[in-house]
Structure 1
Amino acid sequence: MGSSEQEYSLDRVQGLTDTIKDDAEFAQRVIEKAAEPEVLDYLVDDLSIDVHHEGEQGLGEVRQAILGSDHASFDLKKRVATRGDYTTDLDVLVPESVKKSALGALEAGKPVVLYGPTGTGKTTFAKQLALETCVGYTLDTASPSWTSQDIVGRVAPDYSKDSISYQKELGCVSKAVVRAREYGEKYAVIIDELTRADISQIFGQLYTAIENPHQTIFRTDDDETIELIPEVNIICTMNMSDRTVNQLDNAITRRFAMIKVSDYDNDSLDNLFSRWTTDHLADSAVNGGTLKDLFQEDYRRLNSGEDADESGIMEFGPMHYRDVSVFLESTTSPEGVYHDEAGQAVGEAFRTYILPRLLNSATYSQMDELVNHYTELDEIYGEFDLSPAIELAESEKWAQQQRMGMQN
């Protein structure tokens, strides 16, 4: 039988629907032998064949076949690659200037580092960048144990047989290269929380590959060479300030576009805080308007200081206040545990979602400032009881005194 007879036209596939649904291997064969793009559109859009056989997430054989098909469009591949990823449903919350800078860098072929304090939405924005520019992405979180092998690949022991054998495992960047080649589309790798690893150690080979893209960085078990190709977008995130960026090895700042994700203007902040207090507090005992004012004043004093000529206590992102709003939505509703203690609920929310994240990187002097800061806010916003947050700051300040051998 000739190859043309083996192909599956749309009419033929529509007559085999039950078999395609019952047999995943047959479904894969139909995808691989599809005669026209309409066949793939029908299988994905009308039958949701990938979800039927593999659920909402994962890249099984059926999805791999669709992603590797020359008949599948970019948009179809993206839908299949991102099944179960609801990032596409989220609004882009970072300032427009940040988005344009990041997109421009990727279009120019530059890897990107998104940096800024915790709570600025870097990871979500990294996913959104990946999905706007690529068919899909992998996300890996860096750790102190990482080496260059986690980036390019390693030779690892295989204990699955009677005797030990060795096989090659792809690193996160090499994996993205392979997928971009297999899918025939741009693919992204996101490296989250990059500063948790020793950057100069893990990026040594990658730096060389960025400047010499034809250089082989890894070979697979099949002796396929891995080079850093233009079809791979590298997007990293860092929790850090401008001061810390200046202390980075210039090797990364020369090769990566450093995009700060923290410069939210007043209108952007107002939109965020208004949305969260409106969306989450409609049925809450908390006064959403006053809570929004508290968010704005807290954010302003933390980041910029009370007066124009003052500096703030420390950089802090606005996304943390969404966690406060969600907490209050569930706890101060008519059925919530704080339904008749709205003021205390706000203090507990700040104690749970704001103070630990501030104290995590605060110096002793900043801890002292935080105690004074929240004491002042407690007086200004009397309908809310911020004492739980103040107590946590005082407790951590006292513990720091003990560690430093200071007298009370």
Structure 2
Amino acid sequence: MSSGKPSFENYDREEAEEFSGIIRNNATYATDFINRTSDPDAVRYLVNELEIDGRRSGDREQVKQAVLTSSVTPFEVKQTVAQRNYSLGETLVPDTVKKNALTAIEVGKPIVLYGPTGTGKTYFAKQLALEACIDYSIHTATPTWTPADITGSIQPETKDGEIEYHRQAGCVSKGIQKAKEYDDNWAVIIDEITRADISQVFGPLYTAIEDEEQVIFRDDDGEPLTLNENVKIICTMNMSDRTVNELDNAITRRFAMIELSTYGDEERAALFDRWIGELGSDVDIDLDKLQELFETHHQGINAGTTTSGEGGIMEFGPMHYEDVTQFLKHACGSGGPYAGEENIAVGQAFATYIAPRLLNTAALPQINRLASHYETLDNQFEAFDLTPAVDLANRQAEAEEREMGVSAYE
């Protein structure tokens, strides 16, 4: 082979292998080859065998963009490049939930994943997006959202003392642009949709879902943006915010409503066992007793206790307990700040990751029951000091009583 730039002719898999050395080590040659080849297997070879997108940051973006925007690149190769640095684990939701969600996406139906807190809705939304699409963008709804956050707006900008106006795309409009740029599936995840006024904010989106020719926004060049089958919309909703029956009928008619409920006993036990098993021998905690605490806490929240005769306090999924084990792993391991104080660390972990999430959506009667529940656990599990969670719940109850004008002693 002569020196200088190789003379690409066929731009196929065979030529990719022949010039693999120079393509791997030169981003300009790699980009030129990708832009010129008409052989999908050649791009597959460059990505899977040579990992040409795994080079230095600046060069990597150049090559990555060439792979993602090439009409020749196979879908699964685009996924490999876009998701090279993702580390999401295995899907934890029941198999039927995954099948229903994937089917809804395949037929072009936007979906809402709903259920109690701690069932892994956001985590599953990301996994779903990465399986069905090249990549995703995620946006968390807020009470201040307007339709512009979905479709877009025209914003003023001062330049050289004069006001200019430019178009700022909303989250769905940006998703349309990404899907158009890559000519393939792109997911838009809208997290916690009930924090916004759905009926107001989603109005233009409802129209676009029913009419694929409906222009929801125009970019700075005046190009119309319309919703198409390459844009996959995945929303999440906490059941503590609103029940399905309280939702605007407009969304339940247009979206596939997929429930993520609390896990069965065996599934939940398997999750607890796996997370607790990751603590290892460096953490001086009775792991069997910790798993018993998790299960007793979870059952008391969801189903209540037979001794009190009361039912569950609220629905609460198992995913939050992973945060507890991660806290303990780092806090109680060799050299950790709670090494030798493992009993205190458990209570601090519950007060940091579990109790606040329960108290956040609880009414006063539920808060009082949570305080009582933590007091019972603190007495039952002498190996762990759960007073931080007890104190947190009691302070919340007192604050709620003051706000309602009720004396705690009346």
Distance 1:220 1:140 in 2: 20
Match of 1:183 in 2: 182
Match of 1:350 in 2: 350
Structure-2 change in CA distance of 1:5 and 1:385 (3 Å): closer
Which residues in structure 2 correspond to 1:287-298 (within 5 Å)? 287-298=286-297
1:189 Cα deviation after fit: 0.9
The question of whether the paired residues in 2 share the 8 Å contact of 1:281 and 1:325 is answered with no
1:48 equivalent to 2:51? Answer: yes
1:277 Cα deviation after fit: 0.9
Which residues in structure 2 correspond to 1:224-235 (within 5 Å)? 224-235=223-234
Distance 1:55 1:311 in 2: 58
Structure-2 change in CA distance of 1:9 and 1:301 (3 Å): same
Question: One-letter code of the match for 2:374?
Answer: Y
The question of whether the paired residues in 2 share the 8 Å contact of 1:281 and 1:328 is answered with no
1:281 Cα deviation after fit: 4.2
Match of 2:262 in 1: 263
1:70 Cα deviation after fit: 2.4
Q: Which moved more, 1:241-250 or 1:371-380?
A: 241-250
1:283 equivalent to 2:282? Answer: yes
**Secondary structure of the residue that 1:164 maps to in structure 2?**
strand
**Secondary structure of the residue that 2:326 maps to in structure 1?**
helix
Match of 2:3 in 1: none
Distance 2:156 2:11 in 1: 42
Question: One-letter code of the match for 2:78?
Answer: K
Match of 1:104 in 2: 103
Match of 2:113 in 1: 114
Distance 1:359 1:371 in 2: 10
1:29 Cα deviation after fit: 2.9
Deviations 1:287-307 (A, max 9, x none): 111111111111111012123
The question of whether the paired residues in 2 share the 8 Å contact of 1:115 and 1:241 is answered with no
> Unaligned 5+ residue runs, structure 2?
1-6
1:56 Cα deviation after fit: 11
Q: Which moved more, 1:7-16 or 1:350-359?
A: 7-16
Deviations 1:139-190 (A, max 9, x none): 1222223221221222233446674332323222122223223323222111
Match of 1:332 in 2: 332
1:200 Cα deviation after fit: 1.5
1:30 equivalent to 2:43? Answer: no
The question of whether the paired residues in 2 share the 8 Å contact of 1:188 and 1:232 is answered with yes
1:405 Cα deviation after fit: 2.0
Across the aligned residues of Structure 1 and Structure 2, the Cα RMSD in angstroms comes to 2.6
Q: Which moved more, 1:4-13 or 1:308-317?
A: 4-13
Q: Which moved more, 1:241-250 or 1:4-13?
A: 4-13
Which residues in structure 2 correspond to 1:127-142 (within 5 Å)? 127-142=126-141
Match of 2:370 in 1: 370
Distance 1:153 1:34 in 2: 37
Distance 2:115 2:78 in 1: 32
Which residues in structure 2 correspond to 1:2-401 (within 5 Å)? 8-9=11-12, 14-15=18-19, 17-18=21-22, 21-22=25-26, 24-54=27-57, 60-87=61-88, 90-159=89-158, 163-241=162-240, 244-307=243-306, 310-401=310-401
1:108 Cα deviation after fit: 3.0
Distance 1:153 1:259 in 2: 28
Identity rate, percent: 48
Distance 1:327 1:61 in 2: 39
Question: One-letter code of the match for 2:259?
Answer: K
The question of whether the paired residues in 1 share the 8 Å contact of 2:142 and 2:196 is answered with yes
Deviations 1:332-374 (A, max 9, x none): 2243332222222211111111111111111111111011111
Structure-2 change in CA distance of 1:31 and 1:299 (3 Å): same
Distance 2:24 2:274 in 1: 45
> Unaligned 5+ residue runs, structure 1?
none
Distance 2:22 2:8 in 1: 21
